[in-house]
Amino acid sequence: MTDKSNICMYPRPACRSQASNKGRADTCRLQRAFHRQPFTRAKVNAVGRTHIYGCFTSSWDRVGITDVATLFVAFSMGFLAKRSSDSKSAASLGPVQQYGYCKKTPDKTEKPADIECPYEYLVRLYGKHHFKPFVDEFQPTLQQDDPVKYMLVLDMMDAVHFALILVDDISDDSYRRKDQPTAHLLYGASETANRAYLVLTTVINRALRERQVLGVELMKALEKILQGQDMSLVWRRDGLESFQYQGDESILAYKNMAMLKTGTLFILLGRLLNDGDDSLDDLMTRFGWYAQLQNDCKNIYSPEYNGSKGAVAEDLRNGELSFPIVVALNDNSCGPIMRRAFQSRAAADVEAALKSLQAPQVKRACIEALQQAGVGMEKMVSLWGRREKMTAGSSAC
Q: How many domains does the chain have?
A: 1
Rounded to 5 degrees, φ, ψ at 3 are -80, 105
**Of the ranges 93-97, 100-104, 234-238, 312-316, which one carries the lowest mean pLDDT score?**
93-97
pLDDT for 125-181, tens place per residue? 999 999 999 999 999 999 999 999 999 999 999 999 999 999 999 988 888 888 899
Alpha helix ranges (H) inside the chain: 19-35, 65-93, 118-126, 132-138, 142-145, 147-172, 183-187, 189-210, 212-238, 247-258, 264-273, 281-301, 303-309, 314-317, 323-329, 335-344, 347-357, 360-373, 378-384
Please tell me the least confidently modeled range out of 49-53, 317-321, 358-362.
49-53
**What pLDDT, on a 0 to 100 scale, did the predictor assign at position 10?**
29
Residue 18's pLDDT is what? 46
306 pLDDT band, cuts 50/70/90, is low
Residue 220 has pLDDT above 70, yes or no: yes
Residue 116: which pLDDT band, with cuts at 50, 70 and 90?
confident
| Banded pLDDT at 115 (limits 50, 70, 90) | confident
Could you give phi then psi for residue 44, rounded to 5 degrees?
A: -105, 115
Average pLDDT over residues 170-198: 92
Mean pLDDT of 235-259: 94
User: Pick the residue with more confidence: 100 or 85?
Assistant: 85
More confident residue, 58 or 329: 329
Structural domain includes residue 311: yes
Please choose, from the candidates 57, 34, 54, 37, the residue with its C-alpha nearest in 3D space to the C-alpha of residue 276. Answer: 37
pLDDT of residue 318: 85
Q: Indicate if the pLDDT at residue 45 is higher than 80.
A: no
Of 14 and 226, the one with more pLDDT: 226
Higher pLDDT, 394 or 328: 328
> For residue 300, what pLDDT is reported?
87
Q: Are 323 and 363 in contact (CB under 8 A)?
A: no
- Do 224 and 34 contact (CB within 8 A), yes or no? yes
Q: Report the chain's mean pLDDT, rounded to a whole number.
A: 77
* Any domain includes 336: yes
Task: Give the number of other Cβ atoms within 10 Å of residue 132's Cβ.
Answer: 17
291/238 Cα distance (integer angstroms): 26
Residue 153 inside a domain? The answer is no
pLDDT at site 111: 72
Give the whole-number percent of the chain exceeding pLDDT 70.
66
Q: Is residue 309 part of a domain?
A: yes
Percent of the chain with pLDDT over 90: 57
Containing domain of residue 356, as a range? Answer: 280-387
394 found inside a domain: no
CA 102 from centre of chain: 23
Res. 387 pLDDT band, cuts 50 70 90: low
Query: For 296-301, what is the mean pLDDT?
Result: 88
Predicted pLDDT of residue 389:
52
d(CA 327, CA 45): 27
Question: Which residues, 6 or more positions from 15, have their beta carbon under 8 angstroms from its beta carbon?
Answer: none
Determine, yes or no, domain membership for 307.
yes
Does the global pTM surpass 0.85?
no
Residue 166 maps to a domain: no
Name which of 258-262, 300-304, 324-328 the model is least confident about.
300-304
Return the pLDDT at 60: 47
359 lies in some domain = yes
